[in-house]
Amino acid sequence: MYEQRHHQADSPQYDPAKAQQLLRQAVIDGRASNWQLSATSLRDAWRADPALHLAGQGLLECAAQLVATGRQAPSPDVAELAQGFISVIVCSIYPARLSRLRTDLERELADEAWELVHIDDAQSLCEGYARGLARSRGELVVLCHDDIGILSRRFAQRLRERLAQHDLIGVAGSDRLTGPTWFWCGPPHTYSWVCQPNAAGWLLGLLGSAGPVIENAQALDGLFLAGRRNALLQLGFDATTFDGFHFYDLDLSWRAHHAGLRCAIALDLLLWHASGGDFQGSWRGYAERFQQKFPELAPVQPAAPFQPGTLLCTSADHIEPIYDWIAHWLSAGTRG
């Protein structure tokens, strides 16, 4: 199984000069088509300078080159699988979005015992998810947006693997929350492999130089959350404070972290998301509510730039093999 990594708060000193040296070596190896050597240098460069987001783009390019020539990353061992019925809860007022998501779920959960719980009149996501949880039957519960899709063909296996070891998981988030967005702290504490649909194919994303599982998460993005039923019942949803469609996710994951639950970012569930997030309008009012509820999270510095590595991929069949290489490289080596 791929090694699971967590960035410690007492990070070593970084070395931008070393990062540039490694980056130059990666370019030399890439020009010689030594893609694995190039990827190793890129990974180590990113760890020496976490702000070097171009290293993430380079890793995706190395992986794409290997996949294009038919080379596959080594397969990890299958870990323990969580048992139980799966409930997927979605709040949606858009039939077309729901239908498209249902198609993906039916494909990926075809061999599973599962249900889709649709809430079509949610007053807020906290209220809708609470009602959906009460209506659902599953021991394993997914809470997700309606504008996502599944790119992995091992989705069910990975969902069960991650929930065997954790109480609450997401696909993007941070192991250090310092403000009103999960990515406020910036690198090296923020992680995402979420992709976006593009007119020419898919825009692959790579944020963070570790993976595929990041332990001890403090903040999870709400596009996709999954947890054990007893953990979600223990936490509940604060529909009084968050009576709209923002901050239900940070509230839930921050409280889960402080309750001592096992929280993680499961990057290799491999989802795409059709939205980049809305941080205008009502978001600001809910940000004030969030900071009033958790004054310890009042930011002491501006939000860090959100700069993932990206790569346009025109073949959906190549996406998971590309990320298999990413998981192989980022689960190895030493950080910093």
Which pLDDT does position 13 carry in this prediction?
75
Structure confidence at residue 77 as a pLDDT band (50, 70, 90): confident
Please state the pTM of the whole predicted model.
0.94
Quote the percentage of the chain above a pLDDT of 70.
94
3-36 pLDDT, tens digit each: 334 443 344 579 999 999 999 999 999 999 999 9
The pLDDT value given to residue 336: 32
Question: Can you tell me the mean pLDDT for 57-72?
Answer: 97
Tell me what the mean pLDDT of segment 252-260 comes to: 98
Q: Tens digits of per-residue pLDDT, 129-147?
A: 999 999 999 999 999 999 9
Average pLDDT of the chain is 93
Check residue 275 and give its pLDDT: 79
Rounded mean pLDDT of 226-236?
98
pLDDT of 207 strictly over 60: yes
Banded model confidence at residue 93, pLDDT cuts 50, 70, 90: very high
Of the two residues 75 and 125, the one the predictor is more confident about is: 125
Q: Residue 5: its pLDDT value, please?
A: 41
Q: Write down the pLDDT at residue 277.
A: 60
Position 9 scores a pLDDT of: 38
Q: Please report the pLDDT score of residue 282 as a whole number.
A: 87
pLDDT digits (tens, 9 = 90+) for 236-250: 999 999 999 999 999
As a whole number, mean pLDDT of residues 57-61 equals: 98
pLDDT tops 70 at residue 333: no
Confidence band for 278, pLDDT divided at 50, 70 and 90: low
| pLDDT for residue 262 is more than 90 | yes
**Residue % of the chain over a pLDDT of 90:** 90
Q: What is the mean pLDDT of residues 215-228?
A: 98
Instruction: Say which range, 10-19, 146-155, 246-255, 267-276, has the weakest mean pLDDT.
Output: 10-19
Q: Are 284 and 214 in contact (CB under 8 A)?
A: no
pLDDT at 263 over 60: yes
Whole-number pLDDT of residue 12: 57
What would the 3-class secondary structure string for the chain be?
CCCCECCCCCCCCCCHHHHHHHHHHHHHHHHCCCHHHHHHHHHHHHHHCCCCCHHHHHHHHHHHHHHHCCCCCCCCCCCCCCCCCEEEEEECCCHHHHHHHHHHHHHHCCCCCEEEEEECCCCCHHHHHHHHHHHCCCCEEEEECCCEEECCCCHHHHHHHHHHHCCEEECEEECCCCCCCCCCCCCCCEEECCEEEECCEEEEEEECCCCCEEECCCEECCCEEEEEHHHHHHHCCCCCCCCCCCCHHHHHHHHHHHCCCCEEEEHHHCEEECCCCCCCCHHHHHHHHHHHHCHHHCCCCCCCCCCCEEEEECCHHHHHHHHHHHHHHHCCCCCC
Contacts of 131 (CB under 8 A, 6+ apart): 119, 122
Report yes or no: 207 and 323 within 8 Å, Cβ to Cβ.
Answer: no
For 145-330, CATH number out of 3.30.70, 3.90.550, 3.20.20, 2.120.10 equals 3.90.550
